[in-house]
Amino acid sequence: MWVLYAFLAAFFAALVAILAKIGITGIDSNLATAIRTVVILVLTWSIVFATVPLVTLKTLTAKNWTFLILSGLATGLSWLFYFKALQLGDVSRVAPIDKLSVVLTIMMAFFILREPVSWQVLGGGGLIVAGLLLILWY
């Protein structure tokens, strides 16, 4: 099931770039990010209220809170920079640079989480970097 969710995430991430590029025309990218964030907030909490017992909040530890807050800050900064890049550049060049996050994630997972890295993962990461360089050199 995780593979289906991952492909759906990729599909909707692609839509984000296209819809955002159209939506930020003529407005500040930070305002666009703020509007998008409110929509995400309402959507996500609606899903939580519909599917998760609120008593679950009591089970969150200090570690959960700390790392989820840090993850949220990283997400916010990523979105702000992404929208600014989309406002200033072509989607077909911004999105591949953004996908360099895959390679950075692989590296961080290896060094921070101690996840094993196979030759297939290294090869795939190398192809992402090669594709990025090819796109940037045209």
Q: Which of 108, 138, 109, 102 is nearest to 123 (CA)?
A: 102
pLDDT at residue 123 is higher than 80: yes
pLDDT at residue 21 is higher than 90: yes
Instruction: Please tell me whether residue 60 adopts helix, strand or coil conformation.
Output: coil
Q: pLDDT digit string (tens) for 112-122?
A: 999 999 999 99
Q: What ranges do the domains of the chain cover?
A: 2-98
Q: pLDDT digit string (tens) for 33-49?
A: 999 999 999 999 999 99
Query: Which tokens go with 74?
Result: 């990283």
